[in-house]
Chain A
Amino acid sequence: MQRDRSEGRASRRRPRPTALALLAALAGALALSVNASGAPAQTVTLKLLAQSTGAGGNTQLQAVIEKFEQRYPNIKVDATYLPIGTAYAQALRTQLQAGNAPDVFYVTAGSGGLQSVLPLAREGYVADLSRRPWAKDYVPENARHLYWIGNRLYAVPINVVPVGVLHQPAVLEQLGIRVPTTMAQFLNACRRAVAGGKRFLNLAGASAQNAGLFGVVVAGSYVLAKDPQWNQKRLRNRVTFAGTPAWRTALQRIVDMKNAGCFPPGAEGNDNVPATPGFVSGQVASWVLPSSIVGLIKSFNRNAQYNFFAMPGDKAADTQVYASPNDAFAIYSRTRVREAANRFVDFWATPQAGGLYAKLTGAASLYQAKKGRHLAWELRGLAPLLKQSKRVHPLMNLEWRNPAVFETLGKGVQGLLTGQRTPLQVLQEMDAAWASG
Chain B
Amino acid sequence: MSVPAGSTNARPAARRRRRRSGLPQVPWVWVLPALVLVLLLRYVATAAGGWYAFTDWNGISREAQFIGLDNFREILDNPASRGALENTIVLAVTFVVAANVIGLLLALALHRTLKTRILLRALFFAPVVMSSLAVSYIWQFIFSYTGPLNRFLDAVGLDSWQRAWTGDPTWALWTIFVVLVWQFAGLAMVMYLSGLAGIPEELDEAAAVDGASTLRRFRTITLPLLAPAFTVSVTLSLVYGLGVFDQVLALTGGGPVDASETLATQIYKQTFAFGRYGYGAALSLILTVLITAMALAQLAVLRYRERRI
Residues of A near any B CB (own CB < 8 A): 1-3, 6-7, 10, 86, 89-90, 93, 97, 114, 123, 205-206, 208, 264-271, 274, 277-278, 402-404, 411-412, 414-415, 417-421, 437
For B176-204 the 0/1 string (1 means CB < 8 A from A) is: 00000000000000000000000000000
Contacts of B273 in A (CB 8 A): 86, 89-90, 114, 403
Q: Contact between A418 and B167 (Cβ–Cβ < 8 Å)? A: yes
Closest to A86 in B: B273
Closest to B175 in A: A269
Q: Given that A123-B60, A266-B167, A418-B167 are contacting pairs, would A206 and B256 also be in contact in the complex, using a CB cutoff of 8 Å?
A: yes
Known: A205-B256, A418-B167, A419-B169. 13 other contacts (CB 8 A): A6-B62, A10-B62, A93-B275, A205-B167, A265-B162, A269-B143, A269-B168, A270-B144, A270-B164, A270-B167, A412-B257, A420-B257, A437-B274
Interface centre among B59, B140, B274 (most CB of A within 10 A): B274
Q: Given that A274-B144, A414-B255, A418-B168 are contacting pairs, would A2 and B274 also be in contact in the complex, using a CB cutoff of 8 Å?
A: no
A270→B165 CA distance, assembly (Å)? 10
B44 near A: Cβ within 8 Å? yes
- 5 tightest Cβ-Cβ pairs between the two chains A and B: A269-B167, A266-B145, A269-B164, A266-B164, A415-B257
B136 near A: Cβ within 8 Å? no
B214 near A: Cβ within 8 Å? no
For B81-115 the 0/1 string (1 means CB < 8 A from A) is: 00000000000000000000000000000000000
> What is the CB-to-nearest-CB distance from A141 to chain B, in angstroms, rounded to a whole number?
32
Q: Contact between A86 and B257 (Cβ–Cβ < 8 Å)? A: no
Q: Contact between A404 and B144 (Cβ–Cβ < 8 Å)? A: no
B247 near A: Cβ within 8 Å? no
Residues of B near any A CB (own CB < 8 A): 44, 48, 59-60, 62, 64, 140-141, 143-147, 162-169, 172, 252-253, 255-259, 272-275
Q: Contact between A420 and B169 (Cβ–Cβ < 8 Å)? A: yes
Q: Contact between A1 and B44 (Cβ–Cβ < 8 Å)? A: yes
Partner of A418, one of B59, B147, B256: B256
Q: Contact between A269 and B60 (Cβ–Cβ < 8 Å)? A: no
Q: Contact between B144 and A415 (Cβ–Cβ < 8 Å)? A: no
A418→B259 CA distance, assembly (Å)? 11
Q: Given that A206-B253, A414-B257, A420-B257 are contacting pairs, would A265 and B272 also be in contact in the complex, using a CB cutoff of 8 Å?
A: no
Q: Contact between B144 and A414 (Cβ–Cβ < 8 Å)? A: no
Q: Contact between A206 and B62 (Cβ–Cβ < 8 Å)? A: no
| Main SS class of interface, A | helix
Q: Contact between A269 and B253 (Cβ–Cβ < 8 Å)? A: no
Instruction: Write 20 A-B pairs (CB below 8 A) sorted by A numbering.
Output: A86-B273, A97-B60, A114-B273, A206-B253, A267-B164, A268-B164, A268-B256, A269-B165, A269-B172, A270-B167, A271-B253, A274-B146, A277-B146, A278-B146, A412-B257, A414-B255, A414-B257, A415-B256, A417-B256, A419-B169
Q: Contact between B257 and A269 (Cβ–Cβ < 8 Å)? A: no
Contacts of B259 in A (CB 8 A): 420
Contacts of B164 in A (CB 8 A): 265-270
Closest to A114 in B: B273
A269→B163 CA distance, assembly (Å)? 9
Contacts of B165 in A (CB 8 A): 269
Q: Contact between A265 and B145 (Cβ–Cβ < 8 Å)? A: yes
Contacts of B140 in A (CB 8 A): 271, 274
Contacts of A278 in B (CB 8 A): 146
Q: Contact between A269 and B166 (Cβ–Cβ < 8 Å)? A: yes
Contacts of B275 in A (CB 8 A): 93
Q: Contact between A420 and B146 (Cβ–Cβ < 8 Å)? A: no
A97→B272 CA distance, assembly (Å)? 14
Contacts of B167 in A (CB 8 A): 205-206, 266-270, 414, 417-418
> What is the CB-to-nearest-CB distance from B35 to chain A, in angstroms, rounded to a whole number?
18
Contacts of A206 in B (CB 8 A): 166-167, 252-253, 255-256
Partner of B272, one of A86, A268, A274, A419: A86
A419→B163 CA distance, assembly (Å)? 14
Q: Contact between A411 and B255 (Cβ–Cβ < 8 Å)? A: yes
Contacts of B48 in A (CB 8 A): 1-2
Q: Given that A1-B44, A418-B168, A420-B169 are contacting pairs, would A269 and B145 also be in contact in the complex, using a CB cutoff of 8 Å?
A: yes
